[in-house]
Amino acid sequence: MEVQWTGGSCVDGRAETKGGFVMGNDWLGEALLLIDGELVEAEGGARYPNINPATEEVIGSGADASPGDIDRAIAAARRAFDETNWSVDVELRVRALHQLQEGLMKQAEPIRKLTMAEVGLPSMYLDNIGFDGPVSGIGWFADLLAHYDFSEDHGVANVMGGESHRWTEREAVGVVGAITPWNQPTMVNLAKLGPALAAGNAVVLKGAPDTPWCASALAKVIAEHTEIPPGIVNVITSAANDRGQELVIDPRVDLITFTGSTATGRRIMSLGGETVKKCFLELGGKSANIVLEDADFAAGVAASATMVLVHGGQGCSTLTRLLLPRSRFEEGVELAAQIMSSIPYGDPADPGNVMGPLISARQRDRVEGMVERAKSAGAKPVIGGRRPPQFERGFYYEPTLIADLGEDAEIVRDEVFGPVLTVLPFEDEDDAVRMANNSIYGLSAAVFSGDRDRSKRVASRLRAGTVMVDGGMYYNCDVPFGGYKQSGLGRENGRAGFEEYLEIKTLAEPA
């Protein structure tokens, strides 16, 4: 069945289009920005090619925003926040968020397909983390907003010689600059938009260069299916990463929320310091999975051996360091190799494939370079370690297992963001905890044991913002997500994520 998105002229899938896209044998995404309530082309009609990572084919184009486009988007957001009643009209915000959720679900099929095409995300994930789960989160934030008390009474106290009644009020920060990555664009775009809008802010969302269509599709739903006032949400796509930098340095932007690499996060903090801008960062990870000697070994090893192949290992909280007791090390390595070798990968449209391509030639080259340097340092991959010969095209890389390097080796220490698992032996429980915490990162971790109390005890010692205990899954819109150390500042999702976008004002009056 062919699904058509109205609102544009759709042409043959091998040609350019000015709007709309058709799903079927031929379809296209859109090259549009959302600025001040209008779906527009980038200044001068500028575009850049959008490449399917599974085929290396140019499948269309994204709007290539200019500095002028960014300036207009920021100005629109500033005006909309300062001059409309969006920040104080709770009923409007609740209604608009539900409209956004409903509008996205009405266009679910075409958005799922364009996500598969431009991200390379396997189809099996589009019904949960890739689309449906994040969309349901919009409704969760709408419901939270509907019942949230923005004020708190602190009672009367004698303050500086007089009786005063004190209370606090929470209110929107103002203009939010949201800078998002390419690995899970819909999930992260909505994880930022949902709470930021619920809290009453205006937003300029800057999508990743590699995934412009996911951002433009969201912009279209906002413009055509919601009552969100013009300027409250502005969506920018660009081939240039420094369009995000312009949000960071602009004094009209009150808060930056960023998901991406730790290196870029450091740069954002530095630039944001010029205007003492609040920065809310979800950064990199090199998460450790401790499998203790009394654990269900198959389950513990599989947690890393399967997760590292989900979407090609392109996830910040992926359990990429597998820590095994020395007494069972060889057994665990062999089991991990068997699991990784058995997992199907390839065409993301094939519902049986767990892993598709990496997002770009640049990312594949980065992963390949790290593996090659590991080989030069003495590593001998147990499996993988090269581009798969069966694929003539596409940015694929083999599932790769490395088990013979120390914990300070680059590929063990640094985030790879590819299908590469490193395995290390530990001597005892204390050594395992030490190794897990021996990282600049602290986004996620896991522990497996045959004794649940022991697992919880070890989990309490791990310096990480999220921990899987014996396979328990934590990620959902209602639970905070974020990291310790250089994995970020603040929390996304849950009530805590909502309150990241609020300021606290303390007031007092004579009693």
HSE on the CB side for 311, CA within 13 Å?
Answer: 23
In the CATH hierarchy, which fold is given to the domain comprising 26-159+167-283?
Aldehyde Dehydrogenase; Chain A, domain 1 (3.40.605)
Residue 127: per-residue pLDDT: 80
User: What is the chain's alpha carbon radius of gyration, rounded to the nearest angstrom?
Assistant: 24
Q: Return the DSSP state at 492.
A: B
How far CA 211 is from CA of 38, 111, 262, 362, in Å, comes to: 20, 12, 20, 14
Residue 178: per-residue pLDDT: 98
- The tokens of 290 are what? 């401790």
Residue 68 φ/ψ, nearest 5 degrees: -65, -40
Residues 126/115, Cβ–Cβ less than 8 Å: yes
E strand or H helix that includes residue 376: helix 361-376
Per-residue confidence band for 442, with pLDDT thresholds at 50, 70 and 90? very high
How far apart, in Å, do the first and last CA atoms of the chain sit?
A: 69
**CATH number belonging to domain 288-476:** 3.40.309.10
407-422 pLDDT per residue, tens: 999 999 999 999 999 9
Pairing mode of beta strands 321-325, 288-291 = parallel
Q: Report domain extents, the chain.
A: 26-159+167-283, 288-476
Residues 222/228, Cβ–Cβ less than 8 Å: yes
480-497 pLDDT per residue, tens: 999 999 999 999 999 999
Mean pLDDT of all residues in 343-359: 95
pTM: 0.93
Per-residue confidence band for 28, with pLDDT thresholds at 50, 70 and 90? low
Residue 6: per-residue pLDDT: 30
* Enzyme catalytic residues: 282, 316
Amino acid letter, 181: P
Mean pLDDT of all residues in 55-72: 97
β-bridge partners, 170: 504
Q: What percent of the chain has pLDDT over 70?
A: 95
361-410 pLDDT per residue, tens: 999 999 999 999 999 999 999 999 999 999 999 999 999 999 989 999 99
Per-residue confidence band for 4, with pLDDT thresholds at 50, 70 and 90? very low
Q: What percent of the chain has pLDDT over 90?
A: 91
